[in-house]
């Protein structure tokens, strides 16, 4: 089947290669000419494991092509997936301008009735409004389906081909059955609902996971004060299948392009609906506070931070991605620079100098050794394998007193690190 994917961010691109792999003929469209040019030349602008190979393979076999939205005079497919961004506005609400723009273009260029499938994360009730504002006035009777995505950056292809579930929300059975059929190669439970419920499922999923993280971070903070060890606590509670062990890794908090934005948006949606979602507010506050912990430890251990040499290992919001959106590293580096510390930072794939102008005063190094050389303290902000598997005996030789390590992701072995001579601090790992 001919399918158009509008919006070539990581969700759109993964959807494009996923559906191309199932044998569909995909045209990926974007308003950004540079992105399109890069893809046409088989170059990637995001780092996602395995994506480049699949883009190349499907482009070669003729199942995948890219173009700009402007270049398309009419839409000749039956289905259009929309995967444009819905970024946070300053009041926390989701900015829907890209979505509205996309729908206007689709309606304008349609030459026959379409099934419009929205993958973008949008507030519950958006689909209903889009139908009233644009689709009911259109020349053709288009169907609207909400099909939220649950892809994790860094393992997005795995999540596409082996998802936990597929959610399809539509207000008519024909459209939901039609879209379910596109996923027939994929083995996963399909949850069918109305549009608004599907939209809410997406927010509830991300907000629940963020809540788990903030909850365990608070237990970790309390463990630090009482002498309990968070690793043991998690081991003890996660045997209970009602709790489960996932998303209970304590640390310096969640970041990325999804959790922070979606939790804020759900809080905003609650407020405008006259409901104060107290739990969500706490989740946000705990997360904001969590990333300050390394700075509090450094102040406590070293006094004034002015002139102190701090090595930051990791810029990406999590391993296996080059995404630094709302990464804890950004705030930590900026605050330390504000206190006059000398920062050297390194990430295996993020190049701080090119992408992130606010880091101007930090020095971006090409490897771990340059970063830790002469450092008084090291902060591990992203749990890349390269850092977890480092020869910490060797690292110690490069550092200077007081040889502090703050393990912001609780991935190092505290006893070993202390035995080497470092002063180890994890999050809730008092031992």
Question: Could you give the residue numbers annotated as active site?
Answer: 258
Q: State the minimum distance, in angstroms, from the CB of residue 249 to ligand UGA.
A: 3
> Tokens 């839409």 belong to which residue?
75
Q: State the minimum distance, in angstroms, from the CB of residue 122 to ligand UGA.
A: 12
Helix (H, G, I), strand (E, B) or coil at 169: strand
Examine residue 254 and tell whether it contacts ligand UGA (CB under 6 A): yes
Examine residue 318 and tell whether it contacts ligand UGA (CB under 6 A): yes
The closest alpha carbon to 14, from 48, 60, 62, 38, belongs to 48
Distance CA 397, CA 48 (A): 35
Residue 293's CB is within 10 A of a number of other CB atoms, namely 24
Q: Give the range of 50-58, 222-230, 252-260, 342-350 binding ligand UGA by CB under 6 A.
A: 252-260
Examine residue 251 and tell whether it contacts ligand UGA (CB under 6 A): yes
Q: Which residue among 248, 286, 350, 378 contacts ligand UGA (CB under 6 A)?
A: 248
Examine residue 47 and tell whether it contacts ligand UGA (CB under 6 A): no
Distance CA 290, CA 101 (A): 37
Residue 177 vs residues 126, 167, 174, 298, 307: alpha-carbon distances, Å: 21, 12, 5, 57, 63
Contact 5, 66 (CB under 8 A): no
Examine residue 259 and tell whether it contacts ligand UGA (CB under 6 A): yes
Distance CA 151, CA 48 (A): 11
Q: Is 422 annotated as a binding residue?
A: no
> Which is nearer to ligand UGA, 324 or 375 (by Cβ)?
324
Q: State the minimum distance, in angstroms, from the CB of residue 261 to ligand UGA.
A: 8
Examine residue 63 and tell whether it contacts ligand UGA (CB under 6 A): no
Site for ligand UGA in 142-171 (CB under 6 A): 149-153
Examine residue 324 and tell whether it contacts ligand UGA (CB under 6 A): no
Helical H segments across 227-346, by residue range: 230-238, 259-272, 278-290, 293-302, 328-338
The DSSP output letter for 371 is H
Q: Is 157 annotated as a binding residue?
A: no
> Which is nearer to ligand UGA, 21 or 214 (by Cβ)?
214
Q: Please enumerate in sequence order all residues whose Cβ is within 8 A of that of 413, keeping only pairs 6 or more positions apart, or say none.
A: none
Helix (H, G, I), strand (E, B) or coil at 158: helix
What x-and-dash track marks residues 196-235 binding ligand UGA by CB under 6 A? ----------x--x---x----------------------
Q: Give the range of 166-174, 235-243, 254-262, 365-373 binding ligand UGA by CB under 6 A.
A: 254-262
- Here the tokens at position 304 are 């004034």
Q: Is 248 annotated as a binding residue?
A: yes
Q: Is 264 annotated as a binding residue?
A: no
Q: State the minimum distance, in angstroms, from the CB of residue 402 to ligand UGA.
A: 27
Q: What are phi and psi for residue 190, nearest 5 degrees? A: -105, 125
Sign of CA dihedral 165, 167, 172, 178: negative
Distance CA 66, CA 69 (A): 10
Examine residue 425 and tell whether it contacts ligand UGA (CB under 6 A): no
> Which is nearer to ligand UGA, 319 or 403 (by Cβ)?
319
Chain mean position to CA 84: 15
**Binding site for substrate: what residues are annotated?**
150-153, 202, 247-251, 255, 318
Binding site for ligand UGA (CB under 6 A): 121, 149-153, 206, 209, 213, 247-249, 251, 254-256, 258-259, 317-318
**Binding site: what residues are annotated?**
30, 35, 86, 121, 150-153, 202, 247-251, 255, 261, 318, 325
């Amino acid at each position: 089947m001919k399918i158009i994917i509008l919006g070539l961010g990581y969700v759109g691109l993964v959807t494009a290669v996923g559906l191309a792999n199932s044998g569909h003929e995909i045209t990926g469209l974007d308003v950004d000419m540079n992105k399109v040019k890069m893809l046409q030349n088989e170059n990637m602008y995001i780092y996602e494991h395995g994506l480049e190979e699949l883009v190349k393979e499907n482009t070669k076999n003729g199942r995948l092509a890219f173009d700009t939205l402007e270049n398309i005079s009419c839409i000749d497919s039956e289905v259009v997936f929309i995967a444009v961004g819905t970024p946070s506005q300053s009041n926390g609400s989701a900015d829907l301008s890209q979505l509205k723009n996309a729908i206007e273009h689709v309606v304008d260029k349609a030459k026959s009735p379409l099934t419009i499938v929205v993958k973008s994360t949008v507030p519950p009730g958006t689909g209903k409004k889009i139908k009233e504002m644009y689709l009911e006035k259109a020349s053709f009777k288009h169907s609207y389906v909400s099909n939220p995505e649950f892809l994790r950056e860094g393992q997005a292809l795995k999540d596409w081909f082996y998802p936990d579930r597929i959610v399809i929300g539509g207000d008519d059975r024909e459209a939901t059955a039609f879209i379910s059929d596109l996923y027939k190669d994929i083995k996963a439970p399909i949850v069918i609902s109305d549009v608004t419920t599907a939209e809410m499922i997406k927010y509830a999923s991300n907000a629940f996971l963020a809540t788990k993280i903030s909850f365990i971070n608070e237990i970790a903070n309390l463990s630090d004060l009482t002498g309990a060890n968070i690793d043991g606590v998690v081991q003890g509670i996660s045997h209970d299948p009602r709790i489960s062990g996932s998303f209970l890794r304590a640390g310096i908090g969640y970041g990325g392009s999804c959790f922070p934005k979606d939790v804020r948006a759900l809080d905003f949606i609650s407020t405008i609906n006259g409901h104060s979602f107290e739990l969500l507010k706490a989740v946000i506050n705990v997360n904001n506070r969590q990333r300050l912990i390394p700075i509090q430890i450094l102040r406590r251990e070293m006094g004034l931070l002015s002139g102190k040499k701090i090595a930051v290992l990791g810029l990406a919001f999590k391993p296996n991605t080059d995404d630094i959106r709302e990464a804890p590293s950004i705030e930590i580096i900026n605050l330390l620079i504000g206190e006059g510390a000398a920062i050297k930072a390194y990430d295996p794939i993020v190049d701080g100098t090119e992408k992130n102008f606010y880091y101007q005063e930090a020095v971006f190094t090409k490897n771990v050794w340059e970063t830790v050389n002469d450092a008084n303290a090291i902060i591990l902000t992203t749990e890349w394998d390269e850092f977890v598997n480092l020869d910490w005996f060797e690292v110690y030789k490069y550092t200077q007193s007081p040889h502090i390590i703050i393990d912001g992701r609780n991935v190092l072995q505290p006893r070993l690190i202390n035995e080497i001579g470092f002063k180890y601090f994890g999050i809730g790992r008092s031992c």
